Chain A
Amino acid sequence: MTQPLTYFKETPSQTAGPYVHIGCTPNFSGLEGVFPADLGTKMLSGEAEGKRIIIRGRVLDGTGAPIKDALVEIWQADAKGLYNSPTEHRGQADPNFTGWGRCPSDMTSGEFVFETIKPGQVPFKDGRLMAPHVTLWIVARGINIGLQTRMYFSDEEKANADDPILVRIEHRHRVSTLIGTKSGDEYTFDIHLQGDNETVFFDI
């Protein structure tokens, strides 16, 4: 006999359902007066360091139609590559930048939009730098467990080529599903749940 290995099992996920807004962005769903503002709508205040950018995209289903009831969250480092998190042990992140944003898909167009800053580079475990990136988490009706992926930046070709995560993608043409396309100060990033352009999702 051995001692029992006493670990718990992670609580199973369930779909966020069609009314995820009630809990996560109640003001957006027309439920006003409970919380003063929806969390995650504002990622930076005036003093925040770094280049202001906009990330804009849609979540597309297997027919190519935009999903109109998704909730997208992003998490990213500040301009110096530090995370505004108690588990960040490398230094103090910019106090004027939360690093976390939440946006429901527009109920008509399906578009999500984040006003943020371009993140700095963050080291991989072995010390190599990862290319600048934003982590995304997507939930919606019909999605049984939240989907995690990353957006990299189309104007960071050199850093992207050396990125320790991107090099792990076996089918090289799929790397492009993780690159936001720059146009001025905006990056467009559509997330394809299925099909030839299916976004690379992470189990991480």
Chain B
Amino acid sequence: MSNQKPETGAFFQRDRNWQPDAYTPKYKTSILRSPQKPLLSLDGTLSEITGPVFGHNILGELDNDLLLNFSKDGQTPVGERIVVHGRVLDERGVPVKGALIEFWQANAGGRYRHKKETYLAPLDPNFGGCGRTITDENGGYCFRTVKPGAYPWPNGVNDWRPAHIHFSLFGHGFSQRLITQMYFEGDPLIWMCPIVQSIGDKDAINQLIAPLDMASAIPMDSLAYKFDIILRGRRSTLFENRREGN
């Protein structure tokens, strides 16, 4: 345990040019689900600067192991075995430790295990498709899984999602809350996808593409991909007015 006090500054303004717009008509569902009036822009208050933090006690031993957390009789799922790892930092480069990360994905055939999912690719009896972990003191995290398959979705007649893993992140303040998707280096479907294209800046899209990381691959076992995630940074409160006693 460090005796460093938690930081309590407000978060940097979000760069709305870097982030996707709400209204992106090539992604048809966004048309009726995007606010049309201007957002009310405000500096964060205690309600946004604070946020829930989760302890390691919520984690089960296999929560970051998608090869085993739904396995029947020790059998592992079909597909390319991979390790996904990286660090969660804020915009200042400060590691975000103790951050809860939840992830979910389709199986190697591109099929999700969900009540509402009807894609004809088969379920894998040994693959659930969800996991979670909490970042360590350096903001590091890792999990293992199989590489998800691409899948078709009803938008255009022949639109396919590139292989991806969904990520949900909690930082230390509720305004850092983020949901995103990780893509895989070299996938040509990335650049055809209307959901990816909701992001206007090519460099911002590149920030979602995890490179193959041979240095972290496990010989004769798993390939590895490295995916670093940046959450909003906090202002220093050094020279901000504080009431007596704060």
Are B33 and A8 interface neighbours, CB within 8 A? no
Are B93 and A6 interface neighbours, CB within 8 A? yes
Task: Flag whether B192 is at the interface (Cβ < 8 A).
Answer: no
Task: Flag whether A142 is at the interface (Cβ < 8 A).
Answer: yes
Task: Flag whether B189 is at the interface (Cβ < 8 A).
Answer: no
Task: Flag whether B217 is at the interface (Cβ < 8 A).
Answer: no
Are A86 and B53 interface neighbours, CB within 8 A? yes
Q: Which residues of B contact A130 (CB under 8 A)?
A: 45, 47
Q: Which residues of B contact A53 (CB under 8 A)?
A: none
For A194, the closest partner residue in chain B by CB is B36
In the complex, A145→B104 CA distance in Å?
18
In the complex, A86→B50 CA distance in Å?
8
* Binary A-proximity of B150-172 (CB < 8 A = 1, otherwise 0): 00000000000000001010001
The segment from B76-84, B134-142, B200-208 that touches chain A is B200-208
* Binary B-proximity of A30-42 (CB < 8 A = 1, otherwise 0): 1101111001000
* Binary B-proximity of A7-35 (CB < 8 A = 1, otherwise 0): 11111111111111111101001110111
Task: Flag whether B181 is at the interface (Cβ < 8 A).
Answer: yes
Are A193 and B20 interface neighbours, CB within 8 A? no
Are A31 and B129 interface neighbours, CB within 8 A? yes
Q: Which residues of A contact B116 (CB under 8 A)?
A: 18-19, 29, 69, 107
Are B35 and A22 interface neighbours, CB within 8 A? no
Are A14 and B47 interface neighbours, CB within 8 A? no
Q: Which residues of A contact B46 (CB under 8 A)?
A: 83, 88, 122-123
Q: Which residues of A contact B110 (CB under 8 A)?
A: none
Are A7 and B233 interface neighbours, CB within 8 A? yes
Contact residues of B: prevailing secondary structure: loop
For B62, the closest partner residue in chain A by CB is A34
Are A137 and B177 interface neighbours, CB within 8 A? yes
The interface size bin for chain A is 35 or more
The segment from A60-68, A154-162, A180-188 that touches chain B is A60-68
In the complex, A198→B89 CA distance in Å?
34
Are A11 and B207 interface neighbours, CB within 8 A? yes
Q: Which residues of B contact A29 (CB under 8 A)?
A: 113-116
In the complex, A20→B233 CA distance in Å?
26
Task: Flag whether B32 is at the interface (Cβ < 8 A).
Answer: yes
Q: Point out the residue from A13, A22, A76 that lies within 8 Å of B114, measured CB to CB.
A: A22
Q: Which residues of B contact A24 (CB under 8 A)?
A: 102, 104, 168
Task: Flag whether B19 is at the interface (Cβ < 8 A).
Answer: yes
Q: Which residues of B contact A202 (CB under 8 A)?
A: 39-42
- How close is B164's CB to chain A, nearest CB, in angstroms? 8
Q: Point out the residue from B32, B89, B205 that lies within 8 Å of A8, measured CB to CB.
A: B89
For B177, the closest partner residue in chain A by CB is A137
Are A135 and B174 interface neighbours, CB within 8 A? yes
Are A14 and B195 interface neighbours, CB within 8 A? yes
With known contacts A146-B177, A200-B40, A11–B229 Cβ distance under 8 A:
yes
With known contacts A22-B114, A193-B32, A87–B8 Cβ distance under 8 A:
yes
With known contacts A144-B27, A144-B30, A147-B35, A8–B230 Cβ distance under 8 A:
yes
With known contacts A19-B104, A98-B52, A194-B36, A122–B42 Cβ distance under 8 A:
no
Are A83 and B50 interface neighbours, CB within 8 A? yes
Q: Which residues of B contact A150 (CB under 8 A)?
A: 47
Task: Flag whether A168 is at the interface (Cβ < 8 A).
Answer: yes
Q: Which residues of B contact A9 (CB under 8 A)?
A: 15, 18, 91, 203-204, 207, 230
With A12-B208, A18-B116 known, 11 other A-B pairs at CB within 8 A are A10-B178, A13-B19, A14-B180, A15-B198, A22-B129, A30-B113, A30-B115, A61-B32, A144-B27, A144-B30, A203-B41
Chain B interface residues (CB < 8 Å from chain A) = 5-8, 13-16, 18-22, 24, 27, 29-37, 39-54, 58, 60, 63, 69-70, 89-93, 102-104, 112-117, 128-132, 166, 168, 172-175, 177-181, 195-196, 198-199, 203-205, 207-208, 229-233, 241, 243, 246
Q: Can you list 15 A-B contacts (CB < 8 A)?
A: A7-B233, A13-B20, A19-B112, A19-B116, A20-B168, A22-B114, A34-B70, A34-B130, A75-B47, A87-B50, A90-B246, A142-B29, A143-B22, A144-B22, A203-B41
